[in-house]
Amino acid sequence: MTTQPTLPKAGHAHGAPGEPGSGLQAGLKNRHLSMIAIGGVIGAGLFVGSSSGIATAGPGILLSYALVGTLVVLVMRMLGEMSAANPTSGSFSAHADRALGRWAGFSIGWLYWFFWVVVLAVEATAGASILEGWIPAVPQWGWALIVMVVLTATNLVSVGSYGEFEFWFAGIKVVAIGAFIVVGGLAVFGVLPGVDSEQAGLGNLTGHGGFLPNGPGAILTGVLLVVFSFMGSEIATLAAGESEDPQRAVTKSTNSIIWRIGVFYLGSIFVVVTLLPWDSKAIAEQGSYVAALDSLGIAHAGQIMNFIVLTSVLSCLNSGLYTASRMAFSLGRRGDAPKVFAKTTSRGVPLAAIVASVVFGFVAVFFNYKFPDSVFLFLVNSSGAVALFVWLVICFSQLRMRKIIQAESPEKLVVKMWLYPYLTWATAALIVFVLGYMLTDTEHDGRETVLLSLLVAAVVLVIAVVKEKIRGGRPAGVKVLD
């Protein structure tokens, strides 16, 4: 058992934790990691996707968010346990490689990369539509190109450049949603100066058909609609590998996940469903947050929210490109992707991994404009359940990895999963249940999403198994966990 090497300071391109000679640099500061961890749980999906959830489950959508939030907290606790013991740019993919086998690390790594490069196209298109509304002289495809080029440039400069952009993007999101909760909360309790909202009040939670106007089953349907807006919580564990104190960064982000989800998701949705009746036409027509701001008489509410959504989109694009490139880099390091993906510039940037990720993103943007109802729809649906696959693999990896860490270096268990192994098994069972329930959902494309995602996963898995047989398995003595 060798001593885990420390990550060098920026400018000294040697090894990342667990990855000697990788060329990654410790360019992320503590403030970057803190804001990446906070901003990672506030996706654009929270702002633009909550309306359909509220329409489906009514005020009971709070239970849907609470259920998924609990699931994410548990999964992040497992991931935090493994990542604190072995911070690496491959995160859960590298842990799966070590705990379950090369096939698992290969499969989940490539599926995760696929998920994020498709997200690049989705977010670029969403951001471009907002920008075109402000400056129509530039066509939507032109804005998508500009946004992708600018954020690609920031990722190519250095990891510190990515961190700085993300710090400000995430900062704007955090301040905006914090202000929304405070202002909305004051209005709900009738103490906001200058505002007399007749619709606001706790009575909205039980009026208009009750807390569960569409029945208890709507809670699970709500889960299907909101689960994917939580993807991104794991980014902090990937980014920690390029910080000066990876173990501390992982531990801090893992321990703070509960209040982050509680405040930003449950807090803001609670404000929305108490400011307005859940069946208000404004929520469906304008979007939940815009409608909530409008109900308070705040001028230009739509444009304010457009700015916040745009910031969230840019943040998601920035982090998505970073995350996809680091996963490709890790796959390259482990021989599961072209070796060029593991090469870095003098600034510690995996150039080929970034370029490959953004090129696929550009191609997906093209498909979105040329074949939105066929090719692009297939890409979106076939990557839709990857979040749940990732969480499931994290569960099974942690079950095995705990034993490995306890046997080889128990002092590295600075973060521990609660009630191991029972709570891990319960979490895995809940994820399987959600996937199974999605198969019964035809109204919101849940069945198609799961089936297409399983198809893509099966193809990747077959490639992984064939590749491992050709390679003859892992060479003796090779360890992912240092």
User: What pLDDT is attached to residue 266?
Assistant: 92
Q: Looking at the domain assignment, is residue 384 inside a domain?
A: yes
Q: Is 233 exposed, middle or buried, given 0-12, 13-18 or 19+ CB atoms closer than 10 A?
A: buried
| Range(s) of the domain holding residue 127 | 30-471
Q: Looking at the domain assignment, is residue 460 inside a domain?
A: yes
Per-residue pLDDT for 164 more than 80? yes
192: phi then psi, degrees, rounded to nearest 5: -85, 115
Among 22-36, 40-54, 375-389, the range of highest mean pLDDT: 375-389
User: What pLDDT is attached to residue 196?
Assistant: 62
Q: Looking at the domain assignment, is residue 172 inside a domain?
A: yes
Q: How far apart are the first and last CA of the chain?
A: 7
**pLDDT-wise least confident of 12-21, 43-52, 55-64, 256-265:** 12-21
**pLDDT-wise least confident of 30-34, 148-152, 419-423:** 30-34
| Residues contacting residue 386 through CB under 8 Å, at least 6 positions apart | 111, 112, 114, 115, 453, 457
Per-residue pLDDT for 16 more than 90? no
Q: Looking at the domain assignment, is residue 11 inside a domain?
A: no
Q: Looking at the domain assignment, is residue 100 inside a domain?
A: yes
**2: DSSP letter:** P
What pLDDT digit, counting tens, does each position of 51-87 carry?
Answer: 889 998 999 999 999 999 999 999 999 999 999 998 8
Torsion region of 132: left, alpha or beta (phi above 0 gives left; psi -120 to 50 gives alpha): alpha
Please compute the mean of the pLDDT values over residues 465-480 and round it to a whole number.
64
What's the chain's average pLDDT? 86
Per-residue pLDDT for 40 more than 70? no
Q: Looking at the domain assignment, is residue 256 inside a domain?
A: yes
Please compute the mean of the pLDDT values over residues 352-356 and round it to a whole number.
94
Per-residue pLDDT for 127 more than 70? yes
Q: The CATH number of the domain where 138 resides is what?
A: 1.20.1740.10
Per-residue pLDDT for 6 more than 70? no
User: What pLDDT is attached to residue 405?
Assistant: 94
Please compute the mean of the pLDDT values over residues 126-137 and round it to a whole number.
91
Structural domains in the chain (count): 1
What pLDDT digit, counting tens, does each position of 88-123 carry?
Answer: 878 899 999 999 999 999 999 999 999 999 988 888
Q: Looking at the domain assignment, is residue 22 inside a domain?
A: no
**pLDDT-wise least confident of 14-23, 201-210, 250-259:** 14-23
Spatial CA neighbour of 338 closest among 317, 357, 366, 362: 357
User: What pLDDT is attached to residue 239?
Assistant: 86
Q: Looking at the domain assignment, is residue 81 inside a domain?
A: yes
Please compute the mean of the pLDDT values over residues 390-406 and round it to a whole number.
95
The gap from C-alpha 350 to its chain's centroid, in whole angstroms, comes to: 21
Among 4-13, 227-236, 250-259, 424-433, the range of highest mean pLDDT: 424-433
CA dihedral 384, 386, 389, 390 (to 10 degrees): -140
Identify whether the C-beta of residue 140 lies closer than 8 Å to the C-beta of residue 401.
no
Per-residue pLDDT for 175 more than 80? yes
Q: Could you tell me the two tokens for 15?
A: 């090894």
Identify whether the C-beta of residue 240 lies closer than 8 Å to the C-beta of residue 33.
yes
